[in-house]
């Protein structure tokens, strides 16, 4: 990834932070929110292919009243 694309992505993420997190979090604390949300989104994107299988298994386990 070249530097120009990287900077565009960084600017995009911080722009969202300014739009959505302003007055909810102190500006210096944005990174405490942005990093975990970025990781969660990345995990969601990586596991998207198996999502239906996981949801089906959850339904089966719930029906069998298996908690763990």
Domain boundaries, the chain: 3-63
pTM value is 0.49
Task: State residue 13's pLDDT score.
Answer: 83
Residue 1 DSSP code? -
SS3 of 47-62: CHHHHHHHHHHHHHHH
User: Strand pairing partners for 22?
Assistant: 25
SS3 of 3-65: HHHHHHHHHHHHHHHHHHHECCECHHHHHHHHHHHHHHHHHHHHCHHHHHHHHHHHHHHHHCC
Low-confidence ranges of the chain (pLDDT < 70): 1
């Amino acid at each position: 990834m070249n530097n120009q694309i990287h900077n565009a992505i960084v600017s995009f993420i911080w722009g969202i932070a300014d739009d959505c997190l302003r007055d909810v979090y102190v500006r210096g604390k944005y990174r405490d929110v942005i990093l975990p949300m970025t990781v969660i989104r990345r995990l969601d994107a990586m596991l998207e292919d198996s999502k239906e299988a996981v949801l089906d298994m959850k339904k089966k386990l719930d029906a069998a009243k298996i908690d763990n």
